[in-house]
Chain A
Amino acid sequence: MILVLLLAIPLAGALTLARAPRRAAVALHGATAALTLGAAAAVVAAVGRAGVLTALGGLLRADALSAWMAALIGMVGALAAVEAPRYVAPGAGRRFYPLLHLFVFTMLLAVTTDDVGLMWVAVEGTTLASVFLVNFERTRASLEAAYKYLLICSVGIAIAFLGTVLIYFADVQQFGHAEHALHWTTLLRLAPGLPPRVVELAFVFLVVGYGTKAGLAPMHTWLPDAHSEAPAPVSALMSGVLLSVGVYAVLRFKPVVDAAAGPGFASRILLALGLLSMAVAAAFLWTSSSYKRLLAYSSVEHLGIVCLGVGFGGPWGVTGALLHVANHALAKSVLFLLAGRVRSAYGTADIAAVRGLLTRMPRTGTAFLAGMVALMGLPPFGLFTSEVMIFGAGFRGGRGASAALGLAILVAAFAGLLRATQTMCYGVPEREPAPEAAGWRAVLPIGLALALLVATGLAWPPGLAAALSRVAAIVER
C-alpha cells in the first residue's frame, strides 16, 4: 500500500499542479515534495521490517536495493524542490512544477517495479519528462542541449530495449511463455538455465543502453550539455539520481548474467567502461572552462568509479559502489544547487570569471568549497570512505592493475578539480557579484546534506551497515 502511495503522490501532485492556480502552485509543489520524501522514508522503514514489499499483483516490488534508491530520489528530490522556486518565475510554474514531479515519479517507478519491461518504459519516461525541464530557460544553448539529450538518450534506451527483448527471448526459449516471464524475480530464478551466449549478448546491449542514461563514456556526450544548461534543481536531480537510476538498471541485470554466463563477463565489461569513463572525464576536468560543465564531467568520473566498484565485486566492491552512489548523489546535488546560486550572483558560468567566492559569498562559498573537497574524495566526507572501499576491493580481489590505473586517473581528476576550486574560491573578482541570500532557509537543506556526507565518512549512523550489506547481497549473490 505504501508502495502505491510512493508512486501516487508525485503523480497526483504533477497532475494537480498542471491545473493548479498560480498562487497555490508553490505551496502545492512543496507539499508534494514533502509527502514524496515521507513516503520514501516509510518505504525504507517498511522494507527494513518486512524485507520485501509487493503491490499490484507483483508488478511493484521493493527490496533493499529499491528502498536505497527510493530514499536517494526522495532526498535529492526534496533538496531540489526547496531550491526550485528561486528559478521559476511566478508565471512559469506550470511549465516547471508538474514536469519536475513527473520526472521524480518516473524515477521512482523505475526503481520499484519488478517488471524489467516496465522498468524500461519508466527509464524512457525519465527522458521524456525532463526534456522540457532542460530547455526551461529557452535559450539557444538549452534548446540544443535538450535536442541532444532527447535524441541520444532515446537511441540509447532503444538499444536497452533490444537487450530486454533478447533476455525475454532467452527466457521464452527455455521455459515457454511463463506468466511474469519479464519479472526480475522470475528471471533470477530461471537464470541458471538460460543460454549463456544470448544472455551475454543481451547484457552488452543493456549496458550500452542504460549506460547511456548513466552517462558512461563513450555514450556520455549528452550529459555535459544537459547538466550545464538545465536550471540548477533539474541538474541536481539529473546528476544526483537520474544517472544512478541508469546504474540501478544495470545492477538488476548483473546477477542474472552472473548466474547464466558465469561471474567474469559482466565484471570485465563494467571495469572497462568504468575506467574509460574516468579517463574521459579526467581529461575534460582539466579543460572545462565552465564550472557547471566541470561538475557534469565529474559525474561521469564518479559513475565510472561506481562501475569499477561493481566490476571489482565482492562485498567490499559492491557495498562501496552503492555507498558511492549515495555519497555522489548528495555531494553533486548540493554542488549543482550552489553553482546555480553562484551563477545568478556572478552572472556567468565561467570558472575564470568567478573569483573570491569565499570572501564575496561567505556562506555559499564555504559550502561550495566543502562540497568540492567532498567531490575530490578527501576525508572527512563519505566519498573518501566509499572510494577506499572500492579500490581496496580491487587490490584484494586480484584486479590490482585495473585498481592502480583507476587510482592514477583519480589523481589526475583530483588535480583538475582542485585547480578550478582554487581559482573560484580565492582571488579578487573583476566584477563584484550580487550579495547572497540571508536567512537560515537558504542554508539549512544544504547544511543537512553536507552533514549527512560527513556522517557516511566518519561515523555510520546505526543501521546503515546492515542496510548496505542487504543491498549488496541482492547485486552480488
Chain B
Amino acid sequence: MTATTNLLAFLGLVVALLFVWRQSWPSRLRLFAAQSAVLALLATAVGVLAARPGLVVLGAGFALVKVWIIPRVLRRIAAGAPVRPGAPGRSSGMALLVAGALVVAAYVVMLPVHAATRLPTQGAIPLAFAMALIGLYVCVTGRDALGHILGFLVFENGVFGLAILATYGLPGIVEAGVFLDVLVIVFIMEVVVVQVRREHASIAEDRLRELRG
C-alpha cells in the first residue's frame, strides 16, 4: 500500500511541476486532466487496499467530474484565447524554482501531521500538500482567467489527495458537497468569463484593473 500510494502521489506532484513548466493552455489542460486521473486512481487504490468501498465510488465520481466534465467546460472557456498568455519568451525557470521551494515547504509544514500518524499512506501526505501549494502559486500568479481557474483546480486536487491520504475520505455528505461546489464554481466561471470576454475582448488579467483604492 505504501509503495502504491507513494508512487501515485509522486506522479501527481510531477504532473503539477510539469504544469508549472508548460505555459500554453492546451497542454496545461491536458496536464490537469492527467493529474485528476492520477488522483482518481489514488482514491481507488486506497479504497481497494484499505477495504473502503466508499472510496472506490468517490474515485469514479472524481474521474467523472474532473477528468471529463470540467476539462470540457474549460475548453469552452478557453476557446479562442491565445495559446500562451503574456509576452513570449518568458522562461519558466523562476516559477519552477519557486515550485521546488514549495515542495520543501510542504514537507516542513506537514511535519506535525506526519508525527501524529502511523498510516501506511503517511509518506505521501506532504506530496499531496505540495500539489496544493503549487496550485495556489499558479493561481495567484496566473495572468489570465484560465490560469486562475486552472491553478485553483490544481489546488483543489491537492486538497482532495490530502483528504484521501490522511483520512481515507471525508463523510459522504461533505464530499458530495465539495464536488457540487467545484462543479458550480466552474460553471459560474464560464458565465462570468464569457461576459468578461464580451466586455473586454480578452480574458487577460491586466484588463481587469478598473477597481482601485
A residues neighboring B (CB under 8 Å):
115, 117-118, 120-121, 124-125, 128, 131-132, 135, 138, 140-141, 143-148, 150-151, 154-155, 158-159, 161-162, 164-166, 168-170, 172-173, 177, 181-182, 195, 197-198, 200-201, 224-225, 228-229, 284, 287-289, 293
**Nearest 4 A/B pairs, CB to CB:** A117-B174, A121-B177, A197-B112, A195-B116
Q: Which residues of B contact A147 (CB under 8 A)?
A: 145, 192-193, 196, 208
Q: In whole angstroms, what is the CA distance A135 to B208 when docked?
A: 14
Given contact pairs A121-B181, A293-B213, A166 touches B166 in the complex (Cβ within 8 A): yes
A289 to chain B minimum Cβ distance, whole angstroms, is 7
Given contact pairs A145-B211, A146-B192, A161 touches B159 in the complex (Cβ within 8 A): yes
B70 to chain A minimum Cβ distance, whole angstroms, is 14
A178 to chain B minimum Cβ distance, whole angstroms, is 11
Which residue on chain B has the smallest CB distance to residue A204? B109
Q: In whole angstroms, what is the CA distance A115 to B163 when docked?
A: 17
User: Could you give 15 example pairs across A and B, Cβ below 8 Å?
Assistant: A121-B180, A135-B195, A140-B199, A140-B200, A143-B199, A144-B196, A155-B136, A162-B132, A165-B170, A166-B166, A169-B113, A169-B117, A173-B119, A195-B116, A198-B113
Give the residues from 137 to 169 in chain B that come closer than 8 angstroms, CB to CB, to chain A: 139-140, 145, 148-149, 152, 155-156, 159, 162-163, 166-168
Binds A, one of B6-14, B35-43, B75-83, B183-191: B183-191
B residues neighboring A (CB under 8 Å):
109, 112-113, 115-117, 119, 132, 136, 139-140, 145, 148-149, 152, 155-156, 159, 162-163, 166-168, 170-171, 173-174, 177-178, 180-181, 184-185, 188-189, 192-193, 195-196, 199-200, 208, 210-211, 213
Contact A125 B181 (CB under 8 A): yes
Given contact pairs A141-B211, A155-B136, A150 touches B189 in the complex (Cβ within 8 A): yes
Given contact pairs A128-B181, A161-B159, A165-B170, A151 touches B148 in the complex (Cβ within 8 A): yes
Query: Interface residues of A: mostly helix, strand, loop or mixed?
Result: helix
What 5 additional pairs, Cβ within 8 angstroms, besides A117-B177, A121-B174, A135-B192? A146-B192, A162-B162, A195-B116, A197-B115, A224-B211
B178 to chain A minimum Cβ distance, whole angstroms, is 7
Most chain A CB neighbours (cut-off 10 Å) among B140, B159, B200: B159
Contact A150 B185 (CB under 8 A): yes
Q: In whole angstroms, what is the CA distance A316 to B108 when docked?
A: 38
Q: In whole angstroms, what is the CA distance A432 to B112 when docked?
A: 64
A249 to chain B minimum Cβ distance, whole angstroms, is 15
Q: In whole angstroms, what is the CA distance A361 to B200 when docked?
A: 38
Given contact pairs A155-B152, A165-B167, A289 touches B213 in the complex (Cβ within 8 A): yes
Of the candidates A117, A145, A201, the one whose C-beta lies within 8 Å of that of B170 is A117
Q: In whole angstroms, what is the CA distance A141 to B212 when docked?
A: 10
Contact B177 A118 (CB under 8 A): yes
Given contact pairs A117-B171, A158-B156, A169-B167, A201 touches B210 in the complex (Cβ within 8 A): no
Contact B167 A115 (CB under 8 A): no
Of the candidates B109, B140, B152, B195, the one whose C-beta lies within 8 Å of that of A143 is B195
A115 to chain B minimum Cβ distance, whole angstroms, is 7
Q: Which residues of B contact A125 (CB under 8 A)?
A: 181
A155 to chain B minimum Cβ distance, whole angstroms, is 6
A144 to chain B minimum Cβ distance, whole angstroms, is 5
Q: In whole angstroms, what is the CA distance A144 to B95 when docked?
A: 27
Q: Which residues of A contact B156 (CB under 8 A)?
A: 158
Contact A288 B115 (CB under 8 A): no
Q: In whole angstroms, what is the CA distance A223 to B192 when docked?
A: 18
Contact B109 A201 (CB under 8 A): yes
Of the candidates B155, B178, B193, the one whose C-beta lies within 8 Å of that of A155 is B155
Contact A161 B178 (CB under 8 A): yes
A203 to chain B minimum Cβ distance, whole angstroms, is 12
Contact B116 A121 (CB under 8 A): no
Given contact pairs A144-B210, A155-B155, A182 touches B192 in the complex (Cβ within 8 A): no
Contact B213 A287 (CB under 8 A): yes
Contact B152 A115 (CB under 8 A): no
Q: Which residues of B contact A228 (CB under 8 A)?
A: 211
B66 to chain A minimum Cβ distance, whole angstroms, is 14
Q: Which residues of B contact A138 (CB under 8 A)?
A: 195
Contact B211 A144 (CB under 8 A): yes
Q: Which residues of B contact A195 (CB under 8 A)?
A: 112, 115-116
Contact A150 B192 (CB under 8 A): yes
Contact B159 A172 (CB under 8 A): no
Q: In whole angstroms, what is the CA distance A125 to B184 when docked?
A: 9
Q: Which residues of B contact A229 (CB under 8 A)?
A: 211
Q: In whole angstroms, what is the CA distance A172 to B200 when docked?
A: 49
Q: In whole angstroms, what is the CA distance A229 to B155 when docked?
A: 29
Which residue on chain A has the smallest CB distance to residue B129? A162
